[in-house]
Chain A
Amino acid sequence: MKVVYTDVLVIGGGLAGLRMAIAARRRGYDAIILSLVPAKRSHSKAAQGGMQASLGNVIKGQGDNEDVHFEDTVRGSDWGADQDVVRMFVNTAPKAVRELAAWGVPWSRVQRGDRDVVINGQRVTITERDEAHGTVAQRDFGGTKKWRTCYVSDGTGHAMLTTVADRAIAEQIAVHERTEALALIHDGSRCYGAIVRNLITGELVAYVAKATGIATGGAGRLYRVTTNAVICEGIGHALALETGAAALGNMEAVQFHPTGIFPAGILVTEGCRGDGGLLKDVDGHRFMPDYEPEKKELASRDVVSRRMEQHIAAGKGVQSRFGEHLWLDITLLGEHHIKRNLREVYEICQYFLGVDPVKDLIPVRPAQHYTMGGVRTRHTGESPTLKGLFAAGEAACWDMHGFNRLGGNSVAETVVAGMIVGEYVADFCDDGANDANVPMGLVHEFMQREQAKLDRMLDGRGTEDASQLSVAMKELMTAKVGIFRRGGDLEQAVEELQKLLVRSRNIGLHYRSRGANPELVTAYRTQKMLKLALCVAYGALVRTESRGAHFREDFPRRNDAEWLSRTLASWKDENDTLPKLVHQPLDVKRMELPPGWRGYGAKDYVDHPDTPGRLKEVEEIKASLAGADRFAVQSAVMPYEHLLPARYHGRNERIDERFDSGGGPGGGARTSRAAQTGAEVVMTKVKEA
């Protein structure tokens, strides 16, 4: 048995995994990253539009800060998020952008003076401040009050991933490419690493580690139509689920992005709408203002996607041989803007559609995009039920997105979670009590078990075809567990998925090579993915309300009285065909922002009994602190700073919130005179559209 020992084993080589490994390395620990593909090919690469961080450099971001970002994120989550974690996140996001700026990310920068932008279909001139010149720029994104999304043209994830992956090389972190974890090694309460398959040779190796981190991204490939890369199959989720000890949170919360190109499902960024692009129907009519007068095209993604499907159902879709779609119109942004700030979009339209977005409309329809659910962890990133197992990024549910994630918050989460969880991983390794006293018998047992599973498929007499099962699952999920959900459909989906799961235990292979074998990979992944699909479908069936991206036609209202809770799914017995679900209530009495209307979407919801009391309490605290600065007020309502690693305590400097000279992190931020003079420079002139 071949065994590799390391302090920290990170599964997943995208932004979250890389940043987590860098954090551990910088604290003196050896880290090995396992990756299905070369790290720079990870799906983090595909983030186009940008990363939210409340720097407030651009004039339309003036007045932005952690408080505004916090409220946008909680509203976006439809109050499903853990507000402590959201606070940790919004305070660290500006630091993450600035760290990446120092590491080499070529963030797009503010140009002083006048510039033309498109807002609400109108061409408008805005004037950037002199003092902002050369700082990191922000663009508009859905569900935000301020322009907050920092970007690198429309290749933000690409630029971030390149820089962070190169940083990991600089810090001599080993990335074991083309390796895949098949199972976590654990004894039911402590995780000791993973059994890993080399995808080139087929060899199994045990990786034994003090701390194991899952950062494997999302599970979009449970669906047929998804923007996700082909490697986003949720295998990290499944590794945790199959321990029976760790749980998955909120798997029914699945985001559909409004603008997947039709029919391929390839993403075109929300930046298209953020920069002024419009959604139009078969008549060329801009329909979003009819449904969402407040935020129009820039309501949160769950809302825009539902409105689009609703509009298609009302007969306003464009017919094509592949079905119906709508149009995304960015022609009004002009050639210069498209070729400079939406370069990837331009290329995608050109290569995949043969369409020139400078002149032509882009066919779009919502496509699966993001997995809000993930490995349930504490704010430290550690599983509360399986010691030594950590998770970060899309694979995790710590839980900052609740039931809907805002655009620009996921790529931000990858690096922020990597920074924070990486520190806690190092803390965990610091603690002598956590030294891995590895029972080698256990490692051996897991190795044999995984080998036996592969042998059964390679040598056995199984009759089921892995590809067919996989295709059937994806069709079911797309047809019955999509944007609009109904009890009857979900029941059918759960029943059918259970049948597929049972059949998947009898997979036989046509190609029986023990080395590189794509069919074998499909086979064992399909077995894992069916369990995840059941967590999604069953979770959606049981949750008889609508919240964020989870929308039940038969229960259209958000119901805080009964469902202000997080779904925890666990898979106790390998022979089960359904996960065990537990619903963990969220504590309204601790919330900084008690539940209310999101500012877009449906206005009717059922209040939680504690909400009025907490609202009153928050009001009273705020009233009693009238005149105090925002930090004092925030801290009185919901103190959170003690939850952050010490390294990330402290405020963030802004043009309008300068530190005293010489003041460092944690130093008193105060509003400078520049804020007032800056405000006077703002001039907005509206011209003809």
Chain B
Amino acid sequence: MATEQRRKLRFHILRYNPQEAGSTPRMQTYELEEAVGMTLFIALSEIREKQDPSLQFDFVCRAGICGSCGMMINGRPGLACRTLTMNLDADITLAPLPVFALIGDLSVNTGKWMRAMSERLETWVHMKQQEVDIARIEERMEPELAEGIYLLDRCVECGCCVAGCGTARMRQDFVGAVGINKIARFRLDPRDGRNDADFYELVGDDDGVFGCMSLLACHDVCPKNLPLQTQIAFVRRKMVREGLS
């Protein structure tokens, strides 16, 4: 069997631990021999195991479904766990997602940001009646509608859309595509008793849908390929109508 030429990968990683006195931001380079099927999860785990036990990063499912491992991969936000090194050059630059509070190295506090967004936009079904009789047959829903809601519900709150957003850099309280998509999701859901006047209160301003400059990097970088462009435009149209009425 012919031996394959294994590439020597060079990872240039932005290191900074704000918890540690005297730590300053710096780039650090690690070399690693590439393996077949190597993902950034495998590579970073190996670096931590064999070269640098202090390196911080977040992985949970390592299967592209939990949204933990958003980071800047060669300058572009993406999920590290499902990024294969074979699709990248031998020099790979990794940095934490901007906008979110830095925990250390590649680890950022998306959880705190997302919780605040959820509280502010009240990202839950506002049930028309509080108690449902769960012994009875469930309320019916058209199959296409259920699927439509699920398509928007596939968001994993990874933060890539926020990290790629121009407005989010300038307006600290901007809800981001993730937030606007949530509004679109609950607006579509007949179980939610809120109407456009209610949603206008939540996103009818510059920190909401009118803050979007339509640069739409969010749409390009969303790892779940959510239809963010369409949803932002749609919610904006509805909110304009609501604002004018």
Contacts and interface: CB of A to CB of B under 8 A. Distances in A.
Nearest to B150: A106
Contacts of B53: 467, 509-511, 518-519, 522
Contacts of B66: 37, 40-42, 45-46, 229
Contacts of B104: 200, 516
B64 interface: yes
A517 B150 contact: no
A625 interface: no
B125 interface: yes
A109 B191 CA distance: 15
A26 B107 CA distance: 34
Contacts of B164: none
B80 to A, nearest CB: 12
Contacts of A41: 60-61, 66-68, 111
Contacts of A515: 17, 19-20
B19 A169 contact: no
A45 B61 contact: yes
Interface in B214-239: none
Contacts of B137: 98, 135, 653-655
Contacts of B49: 467, 471
Given A38-B114, A108-B146, A200-B103, A266 B132 contact: no
Given A104-B189, A111-B143, A263-B37, A46 B138 contact: no
Interface string A509-535: 111010111110010000000000000
B62 A229 contact: yes
Which among A37, A133, A467 has the greatest number of chain B C-beta atoms within 10 A?
A37
A230 B80 CA distance: 14
Contacts of A353: 37
| Interface residue tally on B, bucketed by range | 35 or more
Contacts of B59: 230
Nearest to A153: B150
B138 to A, nearest CB: 4
Interface in B21-61: 36-37, 39, 48-49, 53-56, 58-61
Contact of A40 (B48, B56, B114, B147): B114
Contacts of A659: 135-136
A303 B160 CA distance: 41
A178 interface: yes
A659 B37 CA distance: 55
Interface string B139-164: 11111001101100111110000000
A43 interface: yes
A351 B84 contact: yes
Contacts of B124: 103-104, 163, 166-167, 169-170
B123 interface: yes
Contact of A650 (B58, B114, B135): B135
Which among B64, B112, B153 has the greatest number of chain A C-beta atoms within 10 A?
B153
Contacts of B156: 40, 158
B115 interface: yes
Contacts of B122: 170
Interface string A158-197: 1100110011011000010110000000000000000000
Given A37-B60, A98-B132, A510-B53, A103 B138 contact: no
A101 B140 CA distance: 10
B139 to A, nearest CB: 7
Contact of B56 (A95, A163, A516): A516
Given A37-B111, A229-B66, A43 B61 contact: yes
B84 A95 contact: no
Contact of A652 (B17, B127, B135): B135
B202 interface: no
Nearest to A99: B134
A104 B192 contact: yes
Given A45-B65, A170-B124, A515-B19, A152 B140 contact: no
A155 interface: yes
B140 A177 contact: no
Contacts of B65: 45-46, 155, 158, 344
Interface residues of A, number: 86
B197 interface: no
A518 B55 contact: yes
A443 interface: no
Interface string B113-131: 0110011001111010000
A436 interface: no
A448 B122 CA distance: 41
A266 B63 CA distance: 6
A229 B55 CA distance: 19
A591 interface: no
B36 to A, nearest CB: 7
A39 B141 CA distance: 28
Contacts of A467: 49, 53
Interface in A38-59: 38-43, 45-46
Given A102-B132, A348-B63, A155 B150 contact: yes
B138 A518 contact: no
B110 interface: yes
Contacts of A37: 58, 60, 66, 68, 111
Interface in B192-215: 192
A110 B143 CA distance: 6
25 contacts: A37-B66, A37-B111, A41-B67, A41-B111, A95-B135, A98-B134, A106-B189, A107-B141, A111-B143, A153-B147, A159-B150, A170-B124, A177-B111, A177-B112, A229-B60, A229-B62, A229-B66, A230-B60, A231-B60, A322-B36, A344-B65, A515-B17, A653-B136, A664-B136, A667-B135
Q: Closest 10 interchain pairs by CB?
A: A38-B111, A134-B140, A665-B135, A519-B53, A104-B125, A106-B149, A351-B82, A109-B143, A166-B124, A102-B132
Given A96-B134, A201-B19, 13 more contacts: A38-B115, A38-B157, A45-B65, A104-B189, A106-B189, A108-B147, A111-B143, A137-B143, A152-B150, A177-B112, A511-B54, A515-B17, A518-B56
